[in-house]
Structure 1
Amino acid sequence: MTAPLFEVRAARKSYGERVALDGASLRVERGEMLAVLGPSGAGKTTLFRCLAGLAPLDAGAALLHGHDVAAMRGRQRRKIAVVFQQFNLVNRLSALDNVLAGRLGHVPAWRGWLRRFSRDDIRLALECLERVGLLDHANQRADALSGGQQQRVAIARALAQQPDLIIADEPVASLDPHIGAGVMALLASICHEGEGGIAVICSLHQPELARRYADRIVGLRQGGIVLDVAASACDEAALHQLYGSAAIPAAA
């Protein structure tokens, strides 16, 4: 078996006496979109923080190209981009300037501080905005954009980072169902149509969006993986196994 692009091995994380992750393991390949489902309190947010290197694991490892994410610095670290639920844009800056923030790890610090990016960086940022359908909004302030447009700018910023892996933590939670579906379709197209073989790991509360756009679905319950199937095989029985007696979230 060839090594995956990204792998989590027996991840464990506790906060005091509360166990957030209890031996969770998963794999994702290039060009694959993996959705993570689970009831509230299952450990999804903790898992994503650890995958992105934002919080250390107590035990186990998250590996990109076989390298421990927790030990990554510099160029290696830029190979993981994160898309947040609340967009995390700078409201007073234009869409283009926000996307250029994805280039900060690629340029000398002084250029980032002065926002003096090269023509190549600007060209790449504009290409990323075009990729998400917002080239015409390049000079518009972020706070003048709709929620769906802001999330697309955040995705363009992630693309400008030129990552191998995008980690998207509840990227449609703040959006209405129609706009959310469009964002999910965009993330899926980044996996399936891009030449670089970018992988996406996306946490969701909506099983129907996961089944419609993901290639594979992983189910997290009480900090452990209880489901790992192709999206096409994630039927009602699988969802009942995951959510137990809790209500399965309604379709978006």
Structure 2
Amino acid sequence: MTSERPARLPGWATSVLGGVAIIAFWFLAAWLWRLGVAADPEAPASRADAIPYPQDVVASVTSAGAEYFARHFSVTLAEAGIGYLVGNVLALAFASLVLVIPAIEGIVVQIATITYCIPIVAMGAVLIVMTPIPEAGEPALTPIILAGLSVFFTTVVGALLGLKAADRGALDVVAVYGGSRFTQLRKVRVVAALPAILNALQIAVPAAFLGAVLGEFFGKVETGVGRAMMIAQTNVDAPLVWALALTSGIAALAGYGVLGLISRAAAPWSRGAAA
């Protein structure tokens, strides 16, 4: 007698139902918020728009125009991309160095932990004093550095765990045939660690975008998502703030999804698929 597995909804249906539930909850939250503001006679009228309805956010996007979002997002994405690339390259280099020179593992882990423990807001306050003012529309150095710091710890830890997960027997075979630690790293450890490294790189995508946006809040920039949010907040334009926040989430989610597809293609064995 075989047990039947419960029927599962396809992925697209789950996504649609989840989206509908989020929008319905959004409508409910905006309606209840307005009821609460209306019941408070001392509340300013503008407070009712703090949680706008979805159609208000869509109208704000249409009103601002595609050029507005492209101008700001192009700068922030450039800052996040540069920080992501530099931060991850350094993280992978440090993790690989540990496998070649095991004695420095404590130092590398300590450096990664320090970058994780220092509040990013405090680091941004220091960097904004040190970095120059960029040209209008050019990526700023503070968001780039904060984006790099946001991904460094995650990638170092993920890479170290993956590189240490290599099969002991395969490593011994390389050693028996005269292979060095670097040969073991290149022939065995990198292949074994690829799924863990790709997962760390995938998680780092939203972190890099968040670091770049936060870096723009410290000033010295004329263009960028963080700068646009600050202006919208100053103008008490809640729908535009929500529009920028939601499009930021979509951009980060898109990058996360792209890295997920790359992970499936580059390391199919990690999901039980054939290479």
Q: TM-score range by the shorter chain?
A: under 0.3
Q: 1 or 2, which has the higher helix percentage?
A: 2
> When the two structures are superposed, what TM-score results if normalisation uses the length of structure 1?
0.24
Q: Which structure is larger by alpha-carbon Rg, 1 or 2?
A: 2
Q: 1 or 2, which has the higher strand percentage?
A: 1
Higher RCO (CA < 8 A, seq sep 6+): 1
